[in-house]
């Protein structure tokens, strides 16, 4: 597929400076090809340390094209990267483990280690979940946390594998609390902590977002239509100096619905109230169809309405390995200072 060959060559050319910058800062996890914006919609190619992760979201990649792409990258980077190919073009983007598409060598599927901002992260080509264990477009936000967490108490919401918490700990935070309802994700967070054993210890809370954040914010926990709620960990009301809110696009639980399109306020309001008076809230919205200007207006209005007007609002964009032709990257991050 010469068109893909050419598109990949252009993508690698465009990243030359970025890659040497990333290598210098201790990062070997990054996107090498962002298909939607670089000429092959639905195809992504990422480096995770020693691993090359190719993912297709619209249609499977032909075997020859996969091998040609791998060869070109190995030659350009001068590294024998271990190939894992995950076809996610089936419905619900489940990973197709069909060995006819590509049979990864055993070494590629072992537990590996990648680096970002000088920190170690667990890399696993195949695991119980669908997504890689580190979301690469959030790298700049993690870097911001590392540079701005010193002396602070930090609450990492929807923590997933706790990359944000790890950066806070590496940035000399006074206390780091990671919160997620999925024990499997927090378990990888614990592995990540163990891979960086010189860092101060972090806390991990396995809980649904809604009861946890509402307790921190000292708000009541209500059930829908009087239904009995599942049990949840009891937490004391408190505020944090730095709160990081990076939710999924949509998720439903017995306690409420995460819906970044229709109802960001339900997530934001308690998170603002759990942020200290002169603290900082970093919040994100990864839905491409949400416009940054509309969302920013909504966020600022919500804070104002609950009596916590934002003193300063800064936008943080993903790095150049996630190019966006219209300057409207799906992942939008706001740093709100109160």
Ligand X SMILES: C[S@@+](CC[C@H](N)C(=O)[O-])C[C@H]1O[C@@H](n2cnc3c(N)ncnc32)[C@H](O)[C@@H]1O
Minimum distance from CB of 108 to ligand X (Å)? 23
Mention every residue, 6+ apart, whose C-beta is less than 8 A from residue 321.
15, 18, 30, 31, 32, 34, 136
The residue from 138, 167, 217, 274 that contacts ligand X (CB under 6 A) is: 138
CB of 89 to ligand X, least distance (A): 20
Q: Are 167 and 199 in contact (CB under 8 A)?
A: no
Please tell me what DSSP assigns to residue 251: E
CB of 134 to ligand X, least distance (A): 7
Nearer Cβ to ligand X (181/295)? 181
- Secondary structure percentages of the chain, helix, strand, coil, to 5: 35, 25, 40
CA angle 261, 167, 129 (to 5 degrees): 55
- The Cα–Cα gap between 209 and 86 comes to 30
Task: Give min distance, CB of 191 to ligand X, in A.
Answer: 14
Single out the residue of 158, 216, 232, 264 in contact with ligand X (rule: CB under 6 A): 158
116: contact with ligand X by CB under 6 A: no
- Pick the binder of ligand X from 89, 101, 113, 135 (CB under 6 A): 135
- State which of positions 263-282 bind ligand X (CB under 6 A): none
The smaller minimum CB distance to ligand X, of residues 8 and 216, is found at 216
Find the shortest distance in angstroms from Cβ 188 to ligand X. 9
If DSSP codes are grouped into helix, strand and coil, which group holds residue 135?
Answer: coil
Instruction: For the CB of residue 321, give the shortest distance to ligand X in the complex, in Å.
Output: 16
Binding of ligand X by 204 (CB under 6 A): no
- The least distance separating ligand X from the CB of residue 254, rounded to whole angstroms, comes to 9
Cβ-contact 61, 43 below 8 angstroms: yes
Which residues neighbour 259 within 8 Å (Cβ) at sequence distance 6 or greater?
Answer: 250, 266
Q: Which is nearer to ligand X, 135 or 338 (CB)?
A: 135
Q: Which is nearer to ligand X, 102 or 214 (CB)?
A: 214
Q: Which is nearer to ligand X, 209 or 322 (CB)?
A: 209
Sheet of strand 240-245, all strands in order from the earlier edge strand to the far edge: 203-206, 175-180, 153-157, 240-245, 275-285, 332-337, 312-316
CA distance 75 to 250: 40
Judged by beta carbon, residue 33 or residue 210, the one nearer ligand X is 210
Find the binding residues for ligand X in span 208-237 (CB under 6 A): 208-209
Q: Select from 28-36, 86-94, 117-125, 181-189 the region that touches ligand X (CB under 6 A).
A: 181-189
Radius of gyration of the chain, Cα coordinates, nearest whole angstrom: 20
- Contacts to ligand X from residues 290-329, by CB under 6 A: none
Give the nearer residue to ligand X in terms of CB position, either 103 or 253: 253
The span from the CA of 308 to the CA of 243, in Å, is 14
Nearest to 169 by CA among 120, 129, 134: 120
Residue among 60 and 256 whose Cβ is closer to ligand X: 256
- HSE value, Cβ hemisphere, 13 Å, CA-based, for 309: 1
Q: Pick from 26, 118, 230, 248: which binds ligand X (CB under 6 A)?
A: 248
Q: How far is the CB of 312 from ligand X (least distance, A)?
A: 23
Question: Binding residues for ligand X, per CB under 6 A?
Answer: 135, 138, 158, 160, 163-164, 180-182, 185, 208-209, 246, 248, 251, 253, 258
């Amino acid at each position: 597929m010469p068109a893909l060959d050419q598109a990949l060559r252009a993508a690698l050319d465009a990243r030359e400076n970025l890659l040497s910058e990333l290598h210098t800062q201790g990062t070997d996890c990054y996107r090498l090809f962002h298909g939607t914006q670089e000429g092959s919609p639905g195809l992504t190619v990422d480096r995770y340390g020693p691993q090359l992760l190719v993912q297709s979201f619209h249609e499977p990649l032909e075997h020859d094209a996969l091998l040609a792409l791998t060869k070109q990258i190995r030659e350009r980077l001068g590294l024998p990267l271990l190939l894992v190919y995950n076809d996610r073009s089936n419905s619900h983007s489940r990973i197709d483990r069909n060995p006819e598409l590509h049979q990864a060598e055993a070494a590629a599927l072992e537990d590996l280690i990648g680096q970002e901002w000088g920190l170690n992260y667990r890399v696993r080509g195949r695991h119980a979940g669908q997504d890689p264990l580190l979301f690469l477009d959030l790298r700049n936000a993690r870097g911001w946390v590392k540079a701005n967490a010193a002396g602070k108490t930090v609450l990492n919401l929807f923590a997933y594998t706790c990359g944000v918490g790890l950066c806070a700990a590496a940035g000399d935070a006074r206390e780091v609390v990671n919160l997620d309802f999925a024990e499997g994700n927090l378990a990888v967070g614990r592995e990540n902590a163990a891979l960086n054993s010189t860092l101060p210890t972090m806390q991990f809370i396995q809980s649904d977002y809604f009861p946890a954040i509402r307790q921190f914010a000292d708000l009541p926990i209500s059930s829908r239509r009087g239904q009995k709620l599942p049990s949840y960990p009891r937490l004391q009301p408190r505020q944090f100096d730095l709160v990081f809110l990076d939710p999924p696009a949509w998720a439903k639980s017995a306690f409420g619905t995460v819906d970044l399109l229709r109802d960001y306020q339900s997530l934001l309001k308690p998170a603002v109230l759990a942020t200290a008076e002169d603290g900082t809230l970093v919040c994100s919205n990864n839905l491409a169809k949400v416009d940054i200007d509309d969302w920013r207006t909504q966020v600022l209005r919500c804070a104002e309405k609950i009596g916590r007007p934002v003193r300063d609002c800064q936008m943080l964009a993903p790095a150049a390995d996630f190019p966006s032709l219209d300057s409207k990257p799906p992942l939008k991050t706001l740093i709100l200072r109160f």
